[in-house]
Amino acid sequence: MIRIMRIGHVALRVADIERSRKFYSTLLGFEVVEEDPEHGGVFMALEGLSHTIDLFPIPEGQAAPAPTPGAVGVRHIAFLVDSEQALKDAYLTLRASGVAIERAVDHVSQKSVYFHDPDGNLLEIYYELPHARALFREGRGDRDAPLVFEA
């Protein structure tokens, strides 16, 4: 068995690299750590990491179909925050920035906010409860509930 330490980074093909750079940097706090015009990439990182998301433009002249719901592939990308307050702050920031919230859910072991990036990729920001692993072992069942934040 391979012993993976953590997920390293995600590479995304985007329709408009400047629009995506602005979304991920201004709204989600990613920092551009490298631009590679030869290969077309913009490499972005969260604090303390060398890179987290690599953005690549679609090849010139090619169509950019949106992700197909239910198709084989990545369902969504999730970003962990360190507290329930940080999750609430993220939710309020997304709303104030005009980003439509797909759904906000209390998953029993974690609380999540789902939304789309400019290219329609589903993203999740979540807070994992300190005893989440034990909750998984107990079996969460179908106990998801809507998550409501008071302004």
Residue 141 has pLDDT above 70, yes or no: no
User: Could you report the per-residue pLDDT of 39-90, keeping only the tens digit for each?
Assistant: 778 999 998 888 889 999 988 777 777 777 788 888 899 999 999 999 999 9
Structure tokens at 149: 């934040």
pTM value is 0.89
Q: Which architecture, in CATH terms, is 1-60?
A: Roll (3.10)
pLDDT of residue 136: 67
Q: Kindly state the average pLDDT of the residues 6-35.
A: 92
Any idea which of 8-12, 16-20, 131-135 has the lowest mean pLDDT? 131-135
For the chain, residues classed under CATH 3.10.180.10 are 1-60, 74-151
The residue ranking higher by pLDDT, 7 or 79, is 79
What's the gap between Cα 149 and its chain centre?
Answer: 19
pLDDT of residue 142: 63
Give DSSP secondary structure letters for 68-107: PTT-SS---EEEEESSHHHHHHHHHHHHHTTPPEEEEEE-
Fold held by 74-151? 2,3-Dihydroxybiphenyl 1,2-Dioxygenase; domain 1 (3.10.180)
The residue ranking higher by pLDDT, 44 or 4, is 44
